[in-house]
């Protein structure tokens, strides 16, 4: 419930104690009994003034989720990544149709967010579409349990998820909600845009003006928050995002590809290496040289500009950024066609 608070958790903890309810089975497996969780509770008490008993109750309820570890762990045999296979997951009829409907329903909000933050409407639509198919798949993991599992049982990224667990508890206090109520992805990402708790606290906005931020139940908040996230990470209004590149046969691309998504190459440098924009119009902006690999097929080559790089702040992957870009373009084209057919 939106108005529940940490005080409710404390009251429940004291009630359980007073009634003498039998301890749950496998008590040793409860996070509240783990030394590392007890240390975390002490730190939250010292740094942020949380009530120890309320937090202990929360971590008695948090569960170890083996499916979270399975989902986040790298595959044992990763194979070769395929851009065409990856692209096919996102630029497909169901998602495009859902994107047109979403854009139609929230067109005023999307335009307002685009105008305020300088981010194209299709990029806002593209991100929400890639992340959750416009709210259809926001995750069904209890966020406290997912983040506890990763913070205390996934050493390779424990520091990151310990920080996100801290931010989840802080966010719950700020939003006057029970932290046990949040549901999200296996990594603790929340709502239509799949913000981690730290991103909710740092970038999310109350775009529907109801006095609270709700990225799950308010698409308007999600739309405004995505646009603000992009702006805060350096989006350049009116600047290019990505252009397909034309490559001179025999050009040595090794050093350019190794640079990944950072837009560091001047147009003159790219031209001297045999690279230009396929449409013949080379913007003056610095760019990254991006290779999208598909096994058994020729790679696609693109010029990725500052705004392409900003999309990778959401997910540091050229495949991800290009999927957002192309889904947004596909939804935009489909919407324009639908509007034209109504005339």
Catalytic residues: 131
Q: How far apart are the first and last CA of the chain?
A: 45
- If phi > 0 it is left, if psi is from -120 to 50 it is alpha, else beta; for residue 237 that is beta
Contacts of 333 (CB under 8 A, 6+ apart): none
Which string of DSSP letters, residue by residue, matches 4-23? --HHHHHHHHHHHHHHTPPP
Return the structure tokens found at 140.
């069904």
Reference 322, options 86, 103, 128, 124; nearest CA is: 86
Distance, CA of 132 to CA of 8 (rounded, Å): 31
Q: Say if residue 292 is exposed, middle or buried (CB neighbours under 10 Å; 0-12, 13-18, 19+).
A: middle
- If phi > 0 it is left, if psi is from -120 to 50 it is alpha, else beta; for residue 113 that is alpha
Length of the chain: 343
Distance, CA of 215 to CA of 331 (rounded, Å): 22
Return the structure tokens found at 228.
């603000």
Distance, CA of 230 to CA of 222 (rounded, Å): 12
Specify whether the CB–CB gap between 144 and 58 falls below 8 A: yes
For residue 55, the surrounding DSSP H or E stretch is helix 52-61
What is the DSSP secondary structure assignment for residue 195, as one 8-state letter? B
């Amino acid at each position: 419930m939106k108005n529940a608070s940490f005080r409710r958790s404390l009251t429940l903890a004291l009630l359980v104690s007073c009634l003498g309810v039998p301890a749950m089975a496998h008590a040793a497996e409860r996070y509240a009994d783990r030394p590392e969780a007890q240390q975390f509770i002490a730190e939250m008490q010292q740094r942020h003034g949380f009530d120890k008993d309320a937090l202990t109750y929360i971590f008695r309820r948090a569960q170890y989720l083996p499916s979270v570890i399975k989902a986040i762990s790298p595959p044992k045999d990763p194979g070769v990544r395929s851009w065409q296979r990856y692209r096919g997951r996102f630029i497909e009829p169901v998602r495009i149709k859902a994107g047109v409907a979403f854009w139609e329903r929230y067109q005023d909000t999307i335009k307002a967010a685009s105008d305020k933050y300088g981010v194209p409407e299709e990029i806002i639509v593209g991100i929400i579409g890639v992340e959750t198919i416009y709210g259809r798949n926001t995750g069904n993991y209890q966020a406290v349990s997912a983040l506890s599992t990763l913070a205390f049982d996934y050493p390779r990224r424990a520091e990151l998820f310990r920080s996100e667990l801290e931010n989840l508890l802080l966010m719950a206090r700020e939003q006057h909600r029970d932290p046990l109520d949040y549901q999200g992805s296996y990594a603790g990402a929340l709502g239509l845009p799949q913000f981690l708790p730290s991103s909710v606290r740092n970038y999310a906005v109350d775009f529907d003006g109801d006095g609270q931020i709700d990225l799950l139940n308010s698409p308007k908040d999600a739309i405004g928050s995505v646009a603000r996230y992009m702006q805060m990470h350096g989006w350049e209004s009116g600047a290019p995002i990505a252009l397909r590149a034309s490559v001179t046969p025999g050009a040595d691309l090794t050093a350019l590809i190794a640079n990944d998504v950072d837009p560091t190459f001047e147009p003159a440098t790219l031209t001297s290496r045999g690279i230009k924009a396929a449409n013949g119009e080379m913007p003056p902006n610095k760019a990254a040289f991006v290779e999208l690999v598909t096994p058994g097929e020729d790679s696609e080559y693109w010029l990725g500009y500052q705004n392409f790089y900003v999309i990778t702040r959401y997910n540091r992957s050229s495949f991800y950024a290009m999927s957002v870009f192309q889904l947004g373009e596909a939804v935009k084209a489909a919407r324009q066609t639908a509007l034209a057919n109504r005339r």
